[in-house]
A and B are shown apart, each in its own frame.
Chain A
Amino acid sequence: MECAVDAQSLISISLMKIHNSRTQRGGIKLHKNLLVSYVLRNARQVFIKEKYAEIYRMQQYDEVLTVCSEIQQLNPLEAEEEEQPRAACCVEEEASAQPAARCRTPCALEPSSAHCSKTTVLDLDTHVVTTFGSSISDVEEVSDFCHKRAKREDCCFSSPEFTDTANISNLISIFGSGFSGLLSRQADLEQICSKQALASLGAWTRAIVAF
């Protein structure tokens, strides 16, 4: 009976229900689809929060790498460590269109490379030890997700199907932009991101990085 209450699986289950409702006898049930859309909204909120939390962790990881690389630059000795700034820069410039050669270096793309190895960090504020694996590919994923979400919402705003009133045959087009709760999330997320950015500055300047 138990099932994993996982936001992503709830999203896919909900979309499947909406899809199936279009072929059910008696026409689309407005009440049921409205309730399913609430589950979809709730699951999406949780999913986005989780993804942004990941980004936050990635950003903090990058901050650490940047700090490290600056320290290393004061001692320009080992060749391996010179590649670190490349990793950092690859991540930060990932979303930009600059086809810098640096972004094509294998180290940035291969998770198993030594330069993207696990990093253990001790936070002096909380005394929490955290270990980060290489997660550059995760960052790419998240930023793709953000792009896709933005695209879908833009598309839905301009869709002509919203003029239909009685025949709600394409409820999927409503989720991207309709139901005011969905729209309000955008403002919330921007707040979360800015808060995270501010928080990262204070804590991480006091972190010790251990290899």
Chain B
Amino acid sequence: MAVSAVHLESDAFLVCMNHALSTEKEEVMGLCIGEVDTNRIVHIHSVIILRRSDKRKDRVEISPEQLSAASTEAEISFNFTHRLAEMTGRPVRVVGWYHSHPHITVWPSHVDVRTQAMYQMMDQGFVGLIFSCFIEDKNTKTGRVLYTCFQSVQAQKGSEYERIEIPIHVVPHEAIGKVCLESAVELPRILCQEEQDTYRRIHSLTHLDPITKIHNGSVFTKNLCSQMSAVSGPLLQWLEDRLEQNKQSIVELQKEKERLIQELASL
């Protein structure tokens, strides 16, 4: 049966947006972690940024087998690292996937719909989220960021898969959860690992002359610099600003708390 709605916690939403906005030249992808309740509502409270072994500009999906393996690994390490099961009293698992559509319409492509259909074969409640960004209407100079939620359905056996729209609501959260903070700071680490892996493969080619090796070393340096200035740097800045804002809020909240204690005492 189709899922009735998706509730995405706002801090998880933040991590997805941050991830989607990290690059306009490629699609990025991740997994959604959470649970499905008895009303068939999928609750997503965190996400895992996925590494891509095959980065192509126009495609990002991984095979269902890869997804399954990644999910299992993610769930195990996730539950272990965050002891989410302890905290919430229930196991949490991968309930969906998200990916970005930079400069492209938010609607899932045929490939996306088929991929989603395959994932649904493993898990009927699996949902797909798409974030469309870096869209600008040149005439009105209006920028746009969109997100949508969908599943796939087959009208009849053997016919093409079609998408079905699933209502998605972002659930407000005043604070950012620990799990989401940690997911957010994984991004630079993942990018660096991807770069290292690529470089290692290139480096192992023995027939390259010194000039070419130096060149490749420079490419690595350049790419890492790019990651630091476009991802790590802004992330650090945002964290510092958030810390500052929290400190201010805490001071003000303390004052309010004392005021309320006094008011309560006077009643």
- Asked if chains A and B come from one complex, the reply is no
